[in-house]
Amino acid sequence: MTTETQIETQPEKATIIVKRIDFKMITFTLAGKDYGVDIMRVKEIRKANQFTHVPNTPIFVRGVDNLRGEIIPIIDLRMMFNLPAERRDETELENIIILRVGEIVLGIIVDTIEKVVGISKDTIQPPHPIFGDINVKYISGVVENEGRLYIILDVDRIFTQNKEERAAQAPQTAPLAEIPAPSIPEAAEELNLRFFIETLATFAGFHVSPLNQDWVRNRASEWEEKRRSAHQEVQITSEADAREFLSSFYSPDTDRLWDPTSAKNLVSGLDLGQQGQILVWNPGSGRGTEAYSLAAALKWVHPARPYKIWANDKDLLNISSAPSLSFARDQVPEEYLPLMTETKTGWQFTGEVKSHILFEFHDILHLNPYDNLQLIVVRDVLSFLDVNDQNRLIEEFYDKLRPGGYLLLGKNEKLGHDFTGFREVEGFNQRLYRKKE
Amino acid sequence: MRVEYINPFVEAAYNILREVLSEEVKRGILYLKSSTNPVKGVAAIVGLAGEVEGRVLFDMTKSTALKIASKMNDEDLLDWDDLARATITELANLITAQAVTKLHDLGFRFDLTPPALITGENMEMYDDYKDETETLIVPMETSFGPVEINVAIRERNRN
């Protein structure tokens, strides 16, 4: 017995001592710190200077360079990450790593290029916020080698992300920019639309953006027609007007229990894996009807699975009444009744159902401590946030969802083309997106 | 912030302040905050640990603190001395303890740390905790001046 175990353990030990090298990186320095990039992303290394300056580019784009006939952009990583850069003589050659990121070839300027280091993938540790110089989301890991700590940059993320970010910034002006400027004679329709955009923000806090502009355009023409034929002012001049304008915006079953069949269809159509707890986040849950409907649907479709719904809202009154929300009998579709009990104030969900939902007084614009989610239900919430916040939150949703997780938006909301990490899931009569795996 | 946590703190603050000051106090509008807090002058901090973790901060100006301490001791305290400090610490303890008792009754289990008192001019509270948890502000109006109660708590295991 003893000899056998000895023989078995011997080879294992050997593999630990001989480190398996399955990841090679080019190491370089930026402002005195050591960094690495995956060697598979590196096309070549060269020294060059006097790049051709390109006007109207971000400050970190030093210009373009001619790489044997191919024109490639040159990016100064120090500038990009706001690190101190040594002032160099114009004639001095810069150290450049030429990267291939997807289809793009580009050069990055670094302080010094060190060497190729081979490491074992297992020794890479997850990034830690302590490396404050560079945003953690651009770091794929940290590894120690021969007494030096290397920060491995996720170049795919840095350069594709940047494209996304620029795209995300663009929509802020997009809805207005798409409409001709006032100096150019413009159609009355477009002028009205511009007024609608402004008055909706003023009176209803509704922000027109790529998320909802298609609906706003359609609604605007419908609205104009209706108002004209009734000989009423077309412009939105009060909160009441704005409310009426938006009355057809809201998703079905807003502020009441969802139609049981469509709730069931939705949940049974989701691929939520085979086991483990199902985690759902429902920001802007208002009085809690959405959270209760989801809880019921999860119970019907996955009776044996544990699940948890984080429901929050920044309206204190609504959210604090949510845990004890009662319904009149005629507000409750028959299917929900087995999950409810009758109380003095009306019909309430049972304690068992409630134990799966956590109602929180929380502002979605603050830090959102949710992670690893399978479903985010955020219907008709984003449209009432500032355009920048909309975009920031959609990116945050992406980060917080598991691969293959779902995002449910309002019926009249849709993601712009910039959010390539999601694909739309058809056939639910709801606006459902899935995070690409 | 779970909605169940909110009321116990609001009620406790209201009950205790009304009792120790023997006057009507008014509650301002509750709101949420995610940034760092300037501290008015006197801050008593009580930590919570257990199933729920976080801290509760009682914030007021020094003159409000002195007046409240005077009232509570039924004598005119002129200096910010040991007695005044002990009184404000006790006030923080009373309010937090009552809130925690209410939360215990609702089934949340956790303990308190002894209050710590911090005083000074132009202070700001930088708290790592604030980066992760938003703070509920419960403003209370007394005839001696405002007392702000900042509650930052969360569940230990969120998932």
Do residues A242 and A210 both lie within one domain?
Answer: yes
CB A279 within 8 A of CB A307: yes
Per-residue pLDDT tens over the stretch A106-146: 999 988 888 888 888 888 888 766 665 667 778 888 888 88
Q: Do A362 and B32 touch (CB under 8 A)?
A: yes
Residue A235 three-state SS: coil
Work out the number of other CB atoms within 10 angstroms of the CB of residue A360. 23
Do residues A313 and A207 both lie within one domain?
Answer: no
Best of A280, A362, A365 to substitute, by most chain B Cβ atoms within 10 angstroms, is A362
Asked which of A212, A246, A280 is the last residue of a domain, the reply is A246
Kindly report the length of chain A. Answer: 437
How big, in percent rounded to 5, are the helix, strand and coil portions of chain A?
A: 35, 30, 35
Residue A61 domain-assigned? yes
- Does B3 touch chain A if contact means CB atoms closer than 8 Å? yes
With a cut of 80, say whether residue A93 has pLDDT above it. yes
First to last CA, chain B: 15
Interface of A with B (CB under 8 A): 277, 279, 308, 314, 316, 319-320, 322-323, 358-363, 365-367, 369-372
CA distance B32 to chain A (A): 7
Residue A172 domain-assigned? no
Name the residue of chain A whose CA is nearest to B3's CA. Answer: A360
For A227-258, b/e burial (b = at least 16 CB within 10 A) is beeeeeebebeeeebbeebbeebebeeeeebb
- Does B36 touch chain A if contact means CB atoms closer than 8 Å? no
Residue A174 domain-assigned? no
Residue A11 domain-assigned? no
Q: Are strands A357-361 and A307-313 parallel, antiparallel or unpaired?
A: parallel
Do residues A422 and A339 both lie within one domain?
Answer: yes
A88-94 mean pLDDT: 75
Structural domains of chain B, with CATH: 3-154 (3.40.1550.10)
Do residues A229 and A327 both lie within one domain?
Answer: no
> What residues make up the domain containing A233?
180-246
Contacts of A366 in chain B (CB under 8 A): 32, 34, 134
Name the residue of chain A whose CA is nearest to B5's CA. Answer: A360
The CATH number covering residue A343 comes to 3.40.50.150
Asked which of A246, A278, A298 is the last residue of a domain, the reply is A246
Contacts of B32 in chain A (CB under 8 A): 314, 361-363, 366
Asked which of A167, A192, A214 is the last residue of a domain, the reply is A167
CB B117 within 8 A of CB B88: yes
Q: Which range, A28-37, A155-164, A178-187, B12-21, has the best average confidence (pLDDT)?
A: B12-21
Name the residue of chain B whose CA is nearest to A279's CA. Answer: B159
CA distance B1 to chain A (A): 5
Q: pLDDT confidence of B107, banded at 50, 70, 90?
A: confident
In degrees, rounded to 5, the angle at the alpha carbon of residue B129 between the alpha carbons of residues B124 and B133 is: 110
Do residues A104 and A158 both lie within one domain?
Answer: yes
The Cα A12–Cα A10 span in angstroms is 5
The CATH number covering residue A45 comes to 2.40.50.180
**Domains in chain A: how many in total?**
3
Instruction: Name the residue facing B136 among A358, A361, A365 (closest C-beta).
Output: A361
Contacts of B4 in chain A (CB under 8 A): 323, 359
Does ipTM top 0.95?
no
Residue A10 domain-assigned? no
Residue A8 domain-assigned? no
| Alpha carbon distances (Å) from B18 to A265, B71, B140 | 53, 12, 10
With a cut of 90, say whether residue A349 has pLDDT above it. yes
Do residues A297 and A411 both lie within one domain?
Answer: yes
Residue A213 domain-assigned? yes
Per-residue pLDDT at A3 = 44
With a cut of 90, say whether residue B70 has pLDDT above it. yes
Do residues A30 and A130 both lie within one domain?
Answer: yes
